[in-house]
Amino acid sequence: MTDERAVHEPRLEVSRWFPSEVAAGAELTLQVRVTCPFGCDLRGAEVVVTAPEGPPILTSELVSSDQGINETSEVTLRAPSQVGEHEWSVLFRPQAGEAQASQPQSSQPQASEPPAHAGTSLALPFRTEAHRTSLAIWDVPSPAVVGDPFMVKIGAKCAEECDLQGRRIEVYDGSGDRLATAEFGETLWPGSDALYWAEVELVAPAGEGVVSWSVGFQAADLELPHREASAGFGFATTKPPEHQLTVEVVEVVKGEEGVEGGGGEEGGQGGSTVPVPNAEVSLGVYRASTDESGRAILAVAPGSYELLIWKVGYEAPARALEVSKDLTVRVEAADLHLSERSSWEDD
Amino acid sequence: MAEKPPRAQSRREFVKNSAVVGTAAAVGVGESPFSIRTDQSQAIEWDRRVDVVVIGAGAGGFAAAIAARDQGASVMLVEQNFDIGGRAILSGGACYLGGGTWLQKEAGIEDSPEAVFYDWTLQDHPMNRYNDREIVRTYVDNCIATFDFLTENGVDWLPLGRASRLDSVPRRPSPRQWPIASEVIVPTQRGSGLMRPLERSARAKGVEILLSHRMTSFVREGPTSGRVLGVTAMEVDEWYEPTGRTVAIEARNGVIFATGGHSSNVNFRRMFDPRLTEEYQVHGDGWTPQNADGELAAMAIGASLWGTANQTNESDGQLSKGRLATRSNYHGLAFTPDAPNFFREKATGLRVRDWQNLILVKETGRRFYDETAGIRDYQYFYAAMQWTGDPNKLNGGGPIWAIFDADGVEREGWEVKPPYVDPDGYFFRADTLEQLAASIKSKYQWRPMPGATLRETVERYNSFVDSGVDEDFQKPRPLYKIQRPPFYAAWDTPCVHDTYAGIRMNTRAQVLDTQGEVIPGLYVAGESSGGFGQHGLGRAFVYGRIAGMDAAKNGREG
């Protein structure tokens, strides 16, 4: 720079948002803006991104210019893979004569030579975080039979969608004792973005009741740092089933209203009955839903239970049931005629 | 073109003396298109002159326009949407119109105006308790004539069904759906059977309909004195954005506004209930917003509110538990992808068959109520609107999200993709619950949902399924765990529906000011009027017809 040349002091900033917290090793998008207060076109000049040690991470040219606002294109960088605080520097260092600054003719008419531009820098502090992981546990049978083996599925997901194939999960009981371990397979759970999963065999405890177990995922041996994850799951246990309970859910249709579509049979109250399919039957911890014939079959242990029926739009009284042999019970459900009763359907 | 009169000349003189100006864009309506005009001393160059101007092409507006035209008045009907119909065309079409109509007589149903009056002033239901009985009495006395009027203008009625729960006898007739599918708007709703025949009749009788124009002010002689002389309006595009064109329409006999109420105007509705902050969306807003234009313009020239207790009666149509995964999620309304306004609605939403298939959580990821509560359970709404615990958001309860899993989707038979769901802020999917919480990005979810909280909530709920007892909110026998990925979060924030309070009117539908004096030349009908908390169409048709007849016959004297 000669004494005769004017020196412009450009402003350096990040034009695309740079996050203060990122996942370790994650891709970052950076775009740098250099604004000359005198409206100079600085295309061709370079911007350099450096870390405290090592060679420059990136060198990028200013490729666009609009009334003194000069920008690089959007460039992709990779965050450090170590967790912690980092600070990168963005440097604008036009070398003498290199940046072909062209100045609008209207400003600074006294300058006869192309103006020089001062170098400037910008600090980009950010923090890298270990990848978050999380778990799902599904297809847990409930109830499980005391002392019997059963299968559950366990999946883990890295928020950055890292490959978790071959990674291990562990299942613990309520007191923290390890019950099982399993390795994730290579295929993702169907319909998921990046859920690696395994099927695990477990054995139900000997006592009856509601069980609460947990799953842990360490992910310590992955290339990038990952946080551990844990999640709970539960199930009920029962004695082995000895009896078959058949529940028939029917609706009594009054004679004068008639039965459309057939399928009716004589009821006990002078009307006929029609089966109620897709009603949820629950007997203590046992569950089933009725089929097209209105029947649900449950294999149950002997005992005293409360039998409940649930179907939207129907009402059926709860009843106590003593099961000591194979049984068939019929439950009459009343259609509440919700759609006809609700004037809101007409709104 | 007329020259501008000197400032000293009165508006009335000016209007009398000046010719109608045929150019558009002659009137400035202030910096903001919705600013309130209080300075009425400046001259207006009218673009058009008619006898009666009607604002809003819904039930009240069409009844008013046709009734005025039947009296020989020239009528212009102004509507902000690109099509007629207002909320009425989205409705089921059932009208509270009884008292001994021919349809009731045909069915052998005995009814009388006295019986209707008795039913609609009963103290035991909040829909009736707070009504202005003078307004109800005149409604009652005009039900039969209004029903005949609708019949004469082409409405084809279905046989009467059973009595509505607010009526002692069947008196809520519904029309047959309009036979031209492309004009129906919502195929499951019969409102088209009212509005399309009325549109045909109005056009045949010579009512002029100006679509895509939003009223911006009522022009009164003095700021809060003198006659209402006309309206200003601006043209809007399909997103209701101003195009820049404005129009001023002189109304020699009167202006009737039937603008549909205020439910979509957050600031206005919070006058009645400060809890109803911006997260509460409004039924059918993607068709035509209830933005309080009529109320604001009327109040700016001195009009009074009336019957405000009706707006806070916390019953019936004010709020709905709604459909899932779409913005304006009224439970009874599903737009199909071929609806002409679907570009604004964006999704049909998911209808819930069984609320056992999901849990409902607040923006914090916590449950707050038994999910099987009814779609009109106000105890549920109170809980949904309870303070979330955030000192930075004191009013409103924040968004409510339905959380469910792949099994729930299968049981409901939902298709969890567009156009059934709106992934732009109203529907999210993820592999795990923590990821689901992190994925929820909505302008109404003002802080991130904590993933650990959502997982704890679901684990606790799942334990209730095993134990059979919901220890937190007493959901009867929780049936299904939420466990099988993927997991879903779908918008289920309560949806605002009816407007039940508005501008004070007398039994001639004339608007009254805060002194109880008539504002000459200004009439109101439908949900923008106060004093009658009836849900739906009956009161809108009755008072629209009264307003139209009165403006045409007596408007110049008033």
Q: What ipTM does the predicted assembly reach?
A: 0.83
Considering only CB atoms, which chain A residues are within 8 Å of B434? Answer: 132, 134, 229
Q: What is the pLDDT of residue B540?
A: 98
Of B332, B483, B535, the CB nearest to A137: B483
Instruction: Name the 3-class secondary structure at B60.
Output: helix
Q: What is the pLDDT of residue B209?
A: 98
Higher per-residue confidence, B281 vs A95: B281
Nearest residue in A to B175, CA atom = A346
Surface of B (388-407) touching A: CB under 8 A:
405-406
**Geometric angle at alpha carbon A215, from B490 and B457, rounded to 5°:** 35
Q: What is the pLDDT of residue A124?
A: 92
Instruction: Please state, as a whole number, how many other Cβ atoms lie within 10 Å of the Cβ of residue B457.
Output: 23
Considering only CB atoms, which chain B residues are within 8 Å of A135? Answer: 432
Q: What is the pLDDT of residue B7?
A: 39
CA distance A10 to A92: 9
Distances (CA, A) of B82 to A18, B235, B340: 43, 11, 9
Distances (CA, A) of A209 to A235, B108, B475, B478, B514: 8, 62, 21, 17, 69
Burial of B348: CB neighbours in 10 Å, binned 0-12, 13-18, 19+? buried
Q: Do B484 and A284 touch (CB under 8 A)?
A: no
CA distance B340 to B120: 37
Mean pLDDT of B339-361: 95
Cβ–Cβ under 8 Å, residues B525 and B540: yes
Higher per-residue confidence, A4 vs B38: A4
User: HEC states along B315-368?
Assistant: CHHHEECCCECCCCCCCCCCCCCCCCCHHHHCCCCECCCCHHHCEEECCCCCEC
Pairing of strands A327-332, A303-310: unpaired
Instruction: Please state, as a whole number, how many other Cβ atoms lie within 10 Å of the Cβ of residue B70.
Output: 18
Question: Min CA distance, A315 vs chain B (Å)?
Answer: 13
Local confidence band at B162 (pLDDT 50, 70, 90 cut-offs): confident
Distances (CA, A) of B499 to B255, B375, B526: 21, 18, 9
pLDDT in tens, chain A (347 residues): 445 567 899 999 998 777 889 999 999 999 999 999 999 999 999 999 998 888 888 899 999 999 999 999 999 999 999 999 999 999 998 865 554 555 554 445 454 577 889 999 999 999 999 999 999 999 999 899 999 999 999 999 999 999 999 999 999 999 999 999 999 999 999 999 999 999 999 999 999 999 999 999 988 788 899 999 999 999 999 999 999 999 999 998 875 444 443 343 444 455 788 999 999 999 989 999 999 999 999 999 999 999 999 998 899 989 999 999 999 999 999 988 765 544 444 45
Question: Min CA distance, B278 vs chain A (Å)?
Answer: 24
Backbone angles phi, psi at B418, to 5 degrees: -60, 145
CA distance A192 to B485: 7
Q: What single-letter amino acid sits at B382?
A: Y
CA distance B521 to A301: 80
- DSSP annotation string for B141-173: HHHHHHHHHHHHTT--BPPP-SPPTT-SS----
Q: Is the pLDDT of residue B257 over 70?
A: yes
Q: What is the pLDDT of residue A260?
A: 41
Question: Min CA distance, A316 vs chain B (Å)?
Answer: 13
Cβ–Cβ under 8 Å, residues B171 and B104: yes
Q: What is the pLDDT of residue A104?
A: 55
Q: What single-letter amino acid sits at B219?
A: V
Q: Do B486 and A191 touch (CB under 8 A)?
A: yes
Surface of B (516-535) touching A: CB under 8 A:
535
pTM, to two decimals: 0.88
Q: Do B164 and A343 touch (CB under 8 A)?
A: yes
CB distance from B410 to chain A under 8 Å? no
Nearest residue in A to B372, CA atom = A312
Local confidence band at B315 (pLDDT 50, 70, 90 cut-offs): confident
Question: What is the edge-to-edge ordering of all strands in the sheet holding B487-491?
Answer: B359-361, B401-405, B487-491, B427-430
Q: Do A140 and B483 touch (CB under 8 A)?
A: yes
Considering only CB atoms, which chain A residues are within 8 Å of B463? Answer: 210, 212, 234
Nearest to A286 by CA among A241, A328, A232, A330: A241
Question: Min CA distance, A152 vs chain B (Å)?
Answer: 11
Q: Is the pLDDT of residue B390 over 90?
A: yes
CA distance B532 to B133: 8
The encoded tokens of residue B136 equal: 């109800």
Pairing of strands B427-430, A265-266: unpaired
pLDDT digits (tens, 9 = 90+) for B119-155: 999 998 888 999 999 999 999 999 999 999 999 999 9
Considering only CB atoms, which chain A residues are within 8 Å of B527? Answer: none
What is the dihedral sign for C-alpha B298, B304, B310, B313? positive
Of A139, A159, A282, the CB nearest to B435: A159
CB distance from B466 to chain A under 8 Å? yes
Of A132, A136, A229, the CB nearest to B431: A136
Partnered with residue A295 across adjacent β-strands are A248
pLDDT digits (tens, 9 = 90+) for B510-539: 999 999 999 999 999 999 999 999 998 999
Q: What is the pLDDT of residue B552?
A: 97
Cβ-Cβ contacts under 8 Å for B32 (sequence gap 6 or more)? none
Q: What is the pLDDT of residue A342?
A: 46
Of B92, B477, B535, the CB nearest to A345: B92
Instruction: Please state, as a whole number, how many other Cβ atoms lie within 10 Å of the Cβ of residue B535.
Output: 23
Higher per-residue confidence, A101 vs B424: B424
Considering only CB atoms, which chain B residues are within 8 Å of A345? Answer: 92, 332
Q: What is the pLDDT of residue A270?
A: 55
Q: Do A138 and B484 touch (CB under 8 A)?
A: yes
Distances (CA, A) of B250 to B37, B76, B79, B547: 16, 10, 16, 17
Cβ-Cβ contacts under 8 Å for A109 (sequence gap 6 or more)? none
* Chain A interface residues (partner B, CB cutoff 8 A): 132, 134-140, 142, 155-157, 159, 189, 191-195, 210, 212, 229, 231-236, 280, 282, 284-285, 287, 308, 310, 312, 340-341, 343-347
Q: What is the pLDDT of residue A264?
A: 39
Q: What is the pLDDT of residue A4?
A: 59
Nearest to A153 by CA among A175, A177, A171: A171
CB distance from B164 to chain A under 8 Å? yes
Q: What is the pLDDT of residue A112?
A: 59
Q: What is the pLDDT of residue A103?
A: 56
Terminal-residue alpha carbon distance, chain A: 79
Give the CA-trace dihedral at B413, B419, B423, B425, to 10 degrees: -110
Q: Do B353 and A312 touch (CB under 8 A)?
A: yes
CB distance from B463 to chain A under 8 Å? yes
Q: What is the pLDDT of residue B16?
A: 37
The encoded tokens of residue A232 equal: 């709970």
Nearest residue in A to B357, CA atom = A312
Mean pLDDT of B77-87: 97
Q: Do A346 and B94 touch (CB under 8 A)?
A: yes
Q: Do B479 and A189 touch (CB under 8 A)?
A: no
Mean pLDDT of B380-393: 95
